[in-house]
Amino acid sequence: MQYKANYLSINLLHKNTQLIRTEAERLGFDFVGFAKAEPLDDEARRLEAWLNQGFHGKMQYMANHFDLRTDPTKLVPGAKSVIVLMQNYFPKENQLDPTAPKLARYAYGEDYHHVLKSKLKNLLRFIRENIGEVDGRCFVDSAPVMEREWAKRAGLGWTGKNTLLIRPGAGSYFFLAELILDLPLVADDPIRDHCGTCRRCIEACPTEAISPQGYLLDASKCISYLTIELREEIPTEFQGKMENWAFGCDICQEVCPWNRFAKPHNEPAFEPHPDLLGMKPADWQELTEEVFQKIFKKSAVKRTKFEGLKRNLKFLNKEG
């Protein structure tokens, strides 16, 4: 009798897991992984060492809520599972003028926070309607969740030498989102690291933000940090090293051999504003706040605000 009960319980876990996976894919997520919700003890020690070295720069929020960041049961009491979802954002087309200031590809379309949060809420609603009363929370890079660690645990990829999540056969141009639930599900197995002896991302980074051994990023030197997170003037030590990036940076992804497998996304919300890709250097230098509000109305570029983007463009102009 006990054997039959255990069998039925395991069968229900698999059924619920597959039900969620199918709905997540229907909602447009490209890949779905499941991990057991438990404290990230090893990751907590690495995070503490990273913070102690000051690699987070002026991002003080990275040091806040340390216990929440490393233990999902503090975010959702009684948490049993972490569902990790991947959404492709690789564009069909890139900026047309190679001499124009560059945007990281993730910022071409609408702000992913809003797009993915809406899908996550729909998925959570589906779970409650089809499985039962489940306590859970949605996360899209807006709360203390170590998303790449959870993606790795959920078998969606490995953490590359550039510290980004890389999925075999797909690359790294993906957004990550998470659902933390008090619902037990079947966990996926992690996969091994496939970076091997490759050092392309390390050697290509113009600001030497990636450590010589890889797997460690000094965010305070990263172009993405300098052009987005840093609110002060960009330090002069980075003059001549920005390689024309005005918002974010894709260098370590562009040189990664795994991104030869990248395929264009199928999310209409991530399509760029029709005027964006054709902008020439003069268009950027003469950018007005009115044009900024029109082109980047729903874009993540609004995070740096008009003044921040103009600061970045001014810094690039000095390089030129």
Name the residues annotated as catalytic. 141
Residue 84 main-chain phi, psi, to 5 deg? -115, 130
Among residues 15, 9, 181, 196, the alpha carbon closest in space to that of 85 is found at 181
| 173, 86 contact by CB (below 8 A) | no
Among residues 258, 237, 236, 230, the alpha carbon closest in space to that of 167 is found at 258
| 256, 162 contact by CB (below 8 A) | yes
DSSP H/E element including 127: helix 112-130
| ∠ CA 228-239-317, rounded to 5° | 80
Partnered with residue 85 across adjacent β-strands are 32, 177
Residue 249 main-chain phi, psi, to 5 deg? -165, 140
Residue type, position 281, single letter: P
CB atoms within 10 A of CB 2: 6
Residue 87 main-chain phi, psi, to 5 deg? -125, 120
How far is residue 63's CA from residue 56's CA, in Å, rounded to a whole number?
A: 8
Structure tokens at 3: 């054997």
How far is residue 298's CA from residue 89's CA, in Å, rounded to a whole number?
A: 15
